Amino acid sequence: MISPLVRRIAAEHGIDLAAVAPTGPRGVILRRDVEQAIARRAELSAAPAAEPTATPVPAPAAVADRIPLRGLRRAVADKMARSRREIPDATTWVDVDATSLLTAKDELRQTRPDLGIGLLALLARICVDGLRRFPELNSSVDTDRAEIIRHGHVNLGFAAQTDRGLVVPVVRDADRMTTAQLAAELARLTGLARAGKLPPESLTGGTFTLNNYGVFGVDGSAPIINHPEAAILGVGRIIDRPWVTGGAVTARKVTQLSLTFDHRVCDGGAAGGFLRHVADCVEAPSVLLANA
């Protein structure tokens, strides 16, 4: 039996007698038991509370630099992003033996060095011929009017690397030029681009783009269409590779051609036909002369 005094002391200090260990005879809670419970609680209250363990916060990654996206770089970024958003593109590619094309280039350099016809000019000439045969790829889509616009001329854009980044000058009316005229215009626009003197109109109005990324030492790519055009041809590096010729494996100058096209303007048949024609002309430049 707990005495009234012990009960009063416990109540005054908020001690729960059910939680007090008794030390009296027959399990009776004595005054000293309640006083010890009061002392233990006081000790616990006086002890500093343990600080909660903080979750370590990872340090932010170090930023080396922040480069404003503006000017030419911003314009290129906006155009590429728009191309990805709007154009349902597809890419097809083929490996080709460019040995004969390189031979033709070298012969032109030796016999007519004044013309300055290089590999890019020959590829441009081949592209123009292919676009004559497959005009679907020389087009654009008017989304507002839900119309495909087939252009009556070829304004050939070509990728040029400069100190300011990649730019795409446009050779206007490339389909009306000879190979020598194409070479001269490509050289002129490239010089202006590298000098940072290209007028704005030289960077707009393209209907098809040629990208010779092989100069960067890469074999292939899935190039992004230069909006609002419908296709772009990429050319990888030309290197010695084993190739079957006349039933025998020999070393030939081989490259990869990649065509990315807008699937709204044509299907794989037209795209494949264009790419195959380009490949045939690369492998046998006489095909281009025969069909000129």
Q: For the ranges 25-39, 43-57, 88-102, 214-228, which has the lowest average pLDDT?
A: 43-57
137-175 pLDDT per residue, tens: 999 999 999 999 999 999 999 999 888 888 999 999 999
220-259 pLDDT per residue, tens: 999 999 999 999 999 999 999 999 988 999 999 999 999 9
Kindly tell me if the per-residue pLDDT of 49 is higher than 60: no
The answer to whether 13 is a known catalytic residue is no
> How many angstroms separate the CA atoms of 177 and 187, rounded?
14
173-187 pLDDT per residue, tens: 999 999 999 999 999
| Mean pLDDT estimate for the chain | 89
Contacts 24+ apart (CB under 8 A), 153-157: 153/207, 154/128, 154/207, 154/208, 155/205, 155/206, 155/207, 155/208, 156/124, 156/127, 156/128, 156/206, 156/207, 156/208, 156/209, 156/210, 157/206, 157/208, 157/209, 157/210, 157/226, 157/229
Q: How many CA atoms lie within 13 A of 12 on its CB side?
A: 9
88-111 pLDDT per residue, tens: 999 999 999 999 999 999 999 999
The residue among 84, 81, 83, 86 whose CA lies nearest residue 69 is: 81
> How many angstroms separate the CA atoms of 277 and 284, rounded?
10
Select which of 151, 153, 227, 263 is catalytic. 263
Strand-pair category, 160-162 with 165-167: antiparallel
The per-residue pLDDT for 35 is 82
> How many angstroms separate the CA atoms of 135 and 131, rounded?
5
The predicted model gives 261-287 an average pLDDT of: 95
The share of the chain scoring above pLDDT 70, in percent, equals: 94
Bridge partners, residue 90, by sequence:
261
